[in-house]
Amino acid sequence: IKTIGVLTSGGDAPGMNAAIRAVVRTGIYYGMRVMGIRKGYNGLINGDITEMSLRAVSDIIHRGGTILQTARCPEFKEEEGIKRGVAMCKVFDIDAVVVIGGDGSYRGAKDLSKFGMKVMGIPGTIDNDIACTEYTIGFDTALNTVQDAIDKIRDTAYSHERCSVLEVMGRHAGYIALNVGIAGGAEVVLLPEKTFDLGKDVIKPIIEGRNRGKKHYIVIVAEGVGGAIEIAREIQEQTGIEARATILGHIQRGGSPTVNDRVMASMMGARAVELLKEDISNRIISLKDNKIVDIEINEALDMKKEIDEEIIQLSKILAL
Ligand code: ADP
C-alpha cells in the first residue's frame, strides 16, 4: 500500500484529531502518502481530498472536533454512491481508506470493501456504542464534561434542596448515563436499554431518599429515554420537591480530549497504519481486555454489546 486516505464520519468526537494525526505521521514514517478526505463520505464522492504533510497535523492533538470535518452522506447508502467513492479513490491513487467513526460509518466502509477497496476502521464516538470494542475515542472526554456539569449542578441542587434532572447523550446506548450516574452519585439513572416505571423507579427512590435525610437528588436521563422536562414536572408534582431539568446537549461533544482519549487515539491510529503496511485490511481496530486488537469488519458489524447489569445494580446500591 502506497497511499492511504483518512476520513472522519458520523458524529464528531474529541480525540478524532489525535487519531488523524497518528494516521498521518505513522503513514509518512513508513514511507506512505496520506490523503485527507474532508466531510466524511461526501468528500470521498466529491473529491474533496488533499495530501497531508507532517505539519498539516501540527497543533491539533489537543483540539476537539475533527479538522477533516464530518458529515452524514445519504448517497453512500446507495450502490451508485459507493461506486463513485471507489472511482474517486482511483483518481487520487488511494489504495486504502481509514474510516474514523461508528457502526454506520463501518457499514459504508464494508460496502467500499465489496468493490475491492481496502478499508480500516477506528472507533470514534462519544457514546461508546460500538459493539466490537470496549472503548471508543471520545467517550472519556464526554464523561468528564458531563461529570463537570453534574458537580456544578450538585452544588446548587444541594443549596436549594432541589432535584436536578439531567439529560445526557445516548440515543440508543446508556453508557454515558450509567457511568456518570456512578461517578456523579446519581439517585436515579434512566437508560434507553431499560423500560422504567415512573412511580417505582423514579418517585419511590426520591421519597425514600428524602425520608433517609437526603438534601438533594440527581436524576440522569439518557437522550434515548427523553422527556427530562416532563420527568422533572412529575417529580415536583408527586413529591413536592422542587425539580429542574437541564439538557446538556452538544456541550458533551466538544472540548479538549482527555489524556486517555489522546493516547487511545494515537495507539489506534498507528495500529491501523501498521496493519495496512503489512497489507492487512478490512478490519476494525478495537479494545479488548484492555489491549488493542483488530477484528474483521463483517464480524465486527455482527457483534452485539450489552450494558453491564452489575454496574446498573451498583448504581442502585450506591444511591441508597
Ligand atoms: P456513525 O458512524 O457515528 O454510526 P452514522 O450512522 O450517521 O454515524 O453513519 C455515518 C455515515 O456512514 C452515513 O452518513 C453514511 O454515509 C454512512 N453509512 C451509514 N450507514 C450505512 C450503510 N448501511 N451503508 C453504507 N453507508 C452507510
State the binding site for ADP: 21-25, 154, 185-187, 212, 214-216
Residue nearest to atom 19 of ligand 1 (CA): 104
User: Would you call 270 exposed, middle or buried from its count of C-beta atoms within 10 A (0-12, 13-18, 19+)?
Assistant: buried
Closest by alpha carbon to 123, among 248, 255, 2, 271?
Answer: 271
Asked whether the beta carbons of 145 and 226 are under 8 A apart, the reply is no
**Is 101 near ligand 1, meaning CB less than 6 Å away?**
yes
User: What predicted TM-score, i.e. pTM, was given to this entire model?
Assistant: 0.96
For the chain, counts of helices (H) and of strands (E): 11, 11
- What parts of the chain have a pLDDT lower than 70? none
CB 102 less than 6 A from any atom of ligand 1: yes
Tell me the ipTM for this assembly: 0.91
- Residue 264, all three cell numbers: 487511545
In eight-state DSSP terms, residue 285 is E
Q: Map residue 116 onto helix, strand or coil.
A: coil
Residue of 127, 129, 140, 261 with catalytic role:
127
Quick: pLDDT tens for 107-137: 999 999 999 999 999 999 999 999 999 999 9
pLDDT digits (tens, 9 = 90+) for 157-208: 889 999 999 999 999 999 999 999 999 999 999 999 999 999 999 999 999 9
